[in-house]
Amino acid sequence: MGMDPELLRNMLMGLTSMSQITVELLLEVLTDSEGSDDDVDSHNAYDTRLLVAFTDMLTTMERRFWARETSTEWWDHIVMQVWDDEQWLRTFRMRKATFMGLCEELSPTLRHKDTSLRAALMEKQVAIAVWKLATPDSYRSVANQFGVGKSTVGIVLMQVCRAINRILLRRTMILGNVHDIVAGFAQMAHLASEYVNQKGYFSVVLQAFVDHRGHFTDINTGWSRKVHDARIFRNTGLFRKLQAGTFFPDQKITVGEVKMPIVILGDPIYPIMPWLMKPYTWSLDSSKERFNNRLSQCTMTVECAFGHSKGRWHCLYGKLDLANDSIPAVISACCTLHNICEGKDERFTQAWTAEVQHLEAKFEQPESRAIRGAQRRAARIRDALGEQFKAESPQ
């Protein structure tokens, strides 16, 4: 029969405390007797050093014991039972109800890996992963916070991220109603990307398709910074569907004398296509500037989506200390959690933006490179849109 854990803990702490008191009393006795007998000076000095070393050892044992115990108590009794939604939001980027819903969704996969996993332990694992995603804290720092080993944090992070991707990614990243997206933008959906890093440190590219609500509806990540964004895009399933005309409903409208399908909006680095509009970059007249301004109003939604994602999940702008083939899973999990938080109307705090700006200064991203050349038919569509905007604008 095993001993009660609470009783065992009390006995250990009592033993540690009594041992330390005993050593301190002995030290006092030795101090009082010092100098009384020259013959025993060397012997007393040796005993004193020995007892001091023993005291230090006990103090270290007590400190380590309480550090681990305090971390466990912090999670079990403070965070889970005392914290309000404001504290949850500040630390985990979501309210407790959203967090518990996330745990419930992930429970089948996480428990499948360990059939003996208790609900409380599973929730703690999710919390460890979310904490690591939300902060630039080191693995050691997170481990100390939760009272686990450093290696445990890395293992838990990847288990939770893979569970998020397996269960929730396809549930949260869906195109939805195209007409709602078109109406929401008062234009079309928008394609955006992160820029290729040429600053001398390793990073990967994240390309994302974003709707009018600022939700990610399609993502592609994992390519090296050495690969041009346009080439990455051409190698995605999204590109192939758009090129084949199967991604959107077969619906066309007439602008001026030009028929155009539903289109997406992209950064200047992408090639202009009949289904992809991007800003003018050369010899801008008033019509072209007006087109660019309209497009810019839509791209603000995308910039906001990336800004919120990076603001919540600081691991996107820091050192992950993961194998290269593990990084895409973490990025995908962050995008999925972004959709969950936005869908639950979790408040975004501007202080997080300031923290990201500090990280951006440390890990600066380069400007993108515009690529030249455009297809004739796509250029006609863009020109027709520009003329339409000009006709709609008051003179």
CA 90 from chain centre, in angstroms, equals: 14
Domain that holds residue 381: 178-392
Residues 198 and 283 in one domain: yes
Q: 24-38, 104-118, 141-155, 369-383 — which is least confidently predicted?
A: 24-38
Asked whether residue 355 falls in the same domain as residue 387, the answer is yes
* Length of the chain counted residue by residue: 395
**Closest to 386 (Cα-Cα) out of 267, 300, 261, 289:** 289
Give the global pTM. 0.65
130 shares its domain with 212: no
Q: Which amino acid is at 383?
A: D
Tell me the sheet residues that pair with 276.
264, 273
Query: Which residues lie across from 220 on neighbouring strands?
Result: 207
In a domain, 158, yes or no: yes
Query: Model confidence over 312-343: pLDDT tens digits?
Result: 998 887 667 788 888 899 999 999 999 999 99
Judge whether 172 lies within some domain: no
pLDDT digits (tens, 9 = 90+) for 183-240: 767 543 533 333 234 444 567 778 888 888 889 998 888 877 667 788 888 888 888 8
pLDDT in tens, 105-160: 999 888 876 655 677 788 999 999 999 999 888 899 999 889 888 899 999 999 99
Q: How many domains does the chain have?
A: 3
Q: How far are the Cα atoms of 217, 229, 240, 375 from residue 235, in angstroms, in the given order?
A: 17, 10, 8, 19
On whether both 157 and 59 belong to a single domain, the answer is no
Last residue of a domain, one of 123, 139, 167: 167
Average pLDDT, the chain: 75
Let me know: does 49 contact 42? Beta carbons within 8 Å: no
Give φ, ψ of 224 to 5 degrees: -70, 155
Beta carbons within 10 angstroms of residue 370's beta carbon? 13
Which range has the worst mean pLDDT, 20-29, 67-76, 237-246, 248-257?
Answer: 20-29
Once rounded to an integer, what is the mean pLDDT over residues 352-377? Answer: 58
Residue 340 lies in a domain: yes
Domain stop point among 79, 94, 119: 79
Average of pLDDT values for 339-357?
Answer: 87
